[in-house]
Structure 1
Amino acid sequence: MVTRNGLADPGLLGVTAGGGLAAVLMLWLAPQAGPVAIQLTASVGALLTFLAVVALAGGATPVRVVLVGIGAAAALQAITTVVVLSLDPWDTAAVQTWLAGSTYGRAAQDLAPVAVTLLVTGVLLLVNHRTLDLLAVGEDQPTVLGVRTNRARWLILAAAALLAAAAISAAGTVGFVGLVAPHVARRLVGAGHKWVIPLSILLGAVLLGLADTIGRSVIAPAQIPAGLVVALVGTPVFALLIAHRRRHV
């Protein structure tokens, strides 16, 4: 509802790329770092990236923040590639696994940051679901009804950044979940955020769980990172979404 583009996803803010680079730098500078240190570093990197993108955008419209985020993501991904190429071969496998998005070695306590962030931001968004519905309509109607559109959009961007940072800390840079789940949810229950938000959460969890199960089963005892499986599924879904939008334009 910030860009009013149905194919937008949280990765446009550059948060995912920032969290990935932070985790890679930690693995490079401190190869013996444990999962907790890597998770905290990824979260801090993601949030710092969001703040940097907002600062570079000069406090302008959220659409400009997204444009700056796209550029920042490209630059951060390039830096990440350079760092990965500089790693010792022994560390490269661990880094690539993390960047691909994997649940390998994760335990229940690793879900705590995601659970807390999801609870707080989820409740906040659900309480303001009517505002989200109005923002998705356009500029004029929310303003007429007394909605402070700029403040609301900044809160949405901040919530997206926090959620992305928490997800990165738990499972690495998993792509396409934030793109596929909300749009499938809209196809099932309509555009009302009262139902889209909880269904998106459920579909995202189911999608990642299925991807993880497939990745652990196809070439067992070896496994394919869940992020790669999600990308393989998400690419055709993304193409179908674009084709559907073209037919209805």
Structure 2
Amino acid sequence: MAVSLRVGDVPVGWSQLWAALTGSAEQITEAVVSFRLPRILVAALAGACLAVAGAAVQAVVRNPLAEPGLVGVTGGASLGAITVILLVPSAPLVTLPAAAGIGGVLMLFLVLLVARGTRSGGRSGIDPTRVVLVGIGAAATSMALVNIMVVGAQMNISAALGWLAGSTYGRDFTALGWLALPALAAVLLVIAARPVNLLSLGEELPRALGLDLGRARLLILGAGAVLAAGTAAAVGAVGFVGLVAPHLARRVVGNSTARMVPMAAVLGAVLVVSSDALGRWLLAPTEIPVGIVTALVGTPYLVWLLRRSRDV
């Protein structure tokens, strides 16, 4: 975060940064730091929440390659936000994150409603495989509708494309308020580490230990939806963080949720803050949206992960 405060179209030295943080810097330096500090804090908290959202989805689906976009949350949030941008351009600014959060949560519940069915043994509940398959369809449908609206729009298309790319540009301390509920959901997920750990043991053993699998999966997916949709409300659609950070965290501290989720949050924060700094530095003064940078980082990692899994 300290390095990120220095990087951008106006470079800031270490001595200038210290002077700005202590209130003794020149006016222009203080202005630059005061502009960058809120967006860096938003990037850090957003990255942490996206990483925990990925960990929640992976715990339910039991697939380390899963992420929130796989169950339709990101697509629903995008659909809600773009609908407001293009159809109600005069709406207050608070309407955009609200629509994104509501859209993401509603899309997840729609996916769960469609995926819910009767399983082996006559039990009805949530089948992780059905959730993924329905989620992929819901995500594809959401993004198709978003593209139709963007292509057909005559106004505010730049705002729509900027939101879809994911960006921390212009974020201030008020954006942190939209991340308060997702941060609370992340804390609750760590507190509920035991049921999350039990989900990795299959079907019968968790039931024998007294876990209601259907309820546990619903609550954990709901927490993941709040995390992903709330983050999308604050910074737009940022991908790959929910895939990369939990996987790296497992390699560092193992599979225990109580250790893995906090580590994933730290790694997710580092990834998004670093991507934000890189996007401000590469083509300065032009900025590359943070979502594009995380995709450039995450795609090679995904290819490497798939090749490694195939070799194993």
For the superposition of Structure 1 and Structure 2, which TM-score range results when normalised by the shorter chain? over 0.9
* Aligned position for 2:233: 169
Matched, 1:35 2:93: yes
Q: CA deviation at 1:174?
A: 0.5
Partners of 2:193 and 2:158 in 1: how far apart?
42
Of 118, 137, 159, which aligns to 2:223? 159
TM-score (structure 2 length as normaliser): 0.76
Partners of 1:112 and 1:10 in 2: how far apart?
21
Q: Secondary structure at the residue paired with 2:210?
A: coil
Q: CA deviation at 1:152?
A: 0.9
Give the residue type in structure 2 aligned to 1:174: V
- Contact 2:246/2:261 (<8 A) preserved: yes
Matched, 1:130 2:194: yes
Partners of 1:83 and 1:155 in 2: how far apart?
32
Q: CA deviation at 1:6?
A: 1.3
Q: Say what the alpha-carbon RMSD is for the aligned residues.
A: 1.4
Partners of 2:95 and 2:115 in 1: how far apart?
30
Q: CA deviation at 1:4?
A: 1.4
Partners of 2:249 and 2:98 in 1: how far apart?
31
* Aligned position for 1:96: 161
Partners of 2:297 and 2:108 in 1: how far apart?
28
Partners of 2:221 and 2:204 in 1: how far apart?
20
Q: Provide structure 2 residue ranges, at least 5 long, that are not aligned to the other structure.
A: 1-58, 118-124
1:75-224 map, 5 Å: 75-88=141-154, 91-119=156-184, 121-224=185-288
* Aligned position for 1:242: 306
Partners of 2:127 and 2:186 in 1: how far apart?
21
TM-score (structure 1 length as normaliser): 0.94
- Greater shift after overlay, 219-228 or 105-114? 105-114
Give the residue type in structure 2 aligned to 1:56: V
Of 76, 82, 95, which aligns to 1:18? 76
Larger radius of gyration: 2
Identity of aligned residues (%): 46
* Aligned position for 2:111: 53
Q: Provide structure 1 residue ranges, at least 5 long, that are not aligned to the other structure.
A: none
Q: Which has the higher contact order (CA 8 A, sep 6+)?
A: 2
Aligned length: 246
Q: CA deviation at 1:111?
A: 1.5
- Contact 1:2/1:62 (<8 A) preserved: no
- Contact 1:186/1:196 (<8 A) preserved: yes
- Contact 1:208/1:230 (<8 A) preserved: yes
Q: CA deviation at 1:58?
A: 3.6
Q: CA deviation at 1:156?
A: 0.8
